[in-house]
Structure 1
Amino acid sequence: MEFVLIRHSLTPGNLEKQYVGSTDQPLAPEGEALARERRERMPEVDGIWVSPLKRCRQTAELLFPGMEQRIVPDLQECDFGDYECKTWEELKDEEIYRAWIGGDMTITFPHGESMEHFIARCRRGIQTVAQEAKALGLERPAIVAHGGTWLVVMGTFGRPERKLYDWQVKNCGGFRVSVQENPFTLKLLEEL
């Protein structure tokens, strides 16, 4: 089985270079246009799973119109707490923020989610999709989620192995991967 892993298209917060996690922003007009433009270059898929946030559901509908969407709460972006909708400029002097961008995956965002919890639920979410897709006999489903979600998922399961931030993906971009079961891995076939 293959997965087509896609990051949602542009939101107003993305255009402002903000950290948008649990805030349920819709796509910006630029994001809608980008998804329509990218639709022709997407691989054929036979199922679709999405994060519950509007930006993912809207992106999925624009890329794969009319397909039934299966919601996966575990693939939702991290809750950045007090850092939600703030920019690098606003956060650059915060000790916890500096530790996080330096690669510390043990931090907890003030009034937000711990990275350990976020990582565990993203891992659980992708494996849940794999089990459901296999049970349905699908060959190439798509999953529309978030940049942070794909960093964690590919940083954990992606092959060949890369440094975590080397798995960053642009809005409305992603990866086509081959799913291996034992051990669970996602072999990179193509960057989208």
Structure 2
Amino acid sequence: MERNSGVVLSLYRHGLTTANQAKQYIGWTDAPLAPEGLEVLMKTAQFRPEADRVIVSDLTRCVESAEQLFPEQKKIYHKGLREVNFGEWEGKTADELMSRLDFSTWLSDPEKMEPENGESFFDFTKRLGGTWDMIREWCFQDGVNKIAIVSHGGPIRQLLVNLAPERKNFWDWKPLHGQGVTLFWSDHDAFRRGERCTLLSAVPIMEKENG
């Protein structure tokens, strides 16, 4: 690793799926991309930063997105980068879930979320934190300083909560489908310690979006 080059981490949200278009909750549901999702990814791929290591959630929508973004590169797939497991909410819309106590609790306080047969917010953040610790140390040890992660809205939000230079809460971050954000560390040791990045830029500009 060239220690004076800094570390670049690009986080991409998967492209839009037909389930997203129907406003369904699809945490661990394996949904393919919609044609509109592929179109956005093709545009993003034209000006994305280079990456020496591409790490991808193992769900189809992320696998297909990574193929569009990094068609010539080897990908590494990791279950730890999956979205929250919504359990009994999977495949349902907000309108269909409004009568459920666990869903109404989540709407008022997402950190208390624990869907029936699903994953609590605590368990989700613990899983993602362990995965990120592994990725960070692994890339540091291998001398990889240009990293790309293709994942879901929830994991990207949580990584930005912990790593962005500006402190925001989970729901203040709004990563768009098929687009990304790039984080830069000038200090490799700060990156290894899991400290906040030095700079953040959108690829392309991120706008407000639900989900």
**If the TM-score is normalised by the length of the shorter chain, which range does it land in?**
over 0.9
User: Could you say what secondary structure the match of 2:111 adopts?
Assistant: coil
CA deviation after TM superposition for structure 1 residue 183, in Å: 4.8
User: Could you say what secondary structure the match of 1:105 adopts?
Assistant: helix
CA deviation after TM superposition for structure 1 residue 105, in Å: 1.1
Which of these residues, 105, 115, 122, is aligned with residue 109 of structure 1? 115
Letter in 1 for 2:87: G
State the 4+ residue runs in structure 1 displaced beyond 6 angstroms: none
Q: CA 1:183–1:58 in 2, change beyond 3 Å: closer, same or farther?
A: closer
User: Could you say what secondary structure the match of 1:44 adopts?
Assistant: coil
Provide the C-alpha distance between the structure 2 equivalents of 1:188 and 1:13, rounded to a whole number of angstroms.
34
Aligned residue in 2 for 1:185: 196
Equivalenced residue count is 192
Structure 2: runs of 5+ lacking an equivalent? 1-6, 186-190, 204-211
On the 8 A contact 1:51/1:145 being kept in 2, the answer is yes
Q: CA 1:86–1:187 in 2, change beyond 3 Å: closer, same or farther?
A: farther
Deviations 1:124-158 (A, max 9, x none): 11221111211221121100000011122222333
Structure 1: runs of 5+ lacking an equivalent? none
Aligned residue in 2 for 1:148: 154
Deviations 1:29-80 (A, max 9, x none): 2212221122102112221000111111110110111211111211111110
CA deviation after TM superposition for structure 1 residue 7, in Å: 0.4
- Identical positions, percent: 30
Letter in 2 for 1:5: L
Equivalent residues in 2 for 1:28-177, closer than 5 Å: 28-177=34-183
Q: CA 1:162–1:45 in 2, change beyond 3 Å: closer, same or farther?
A: same
On the 8 A contact 1:74/1:121 being kept in 2, the answer is yes
Provide the C-alpha distance between the structure 2 equivalents of 1:63 and 1:115, rounded to a whole number of angstroms.
29
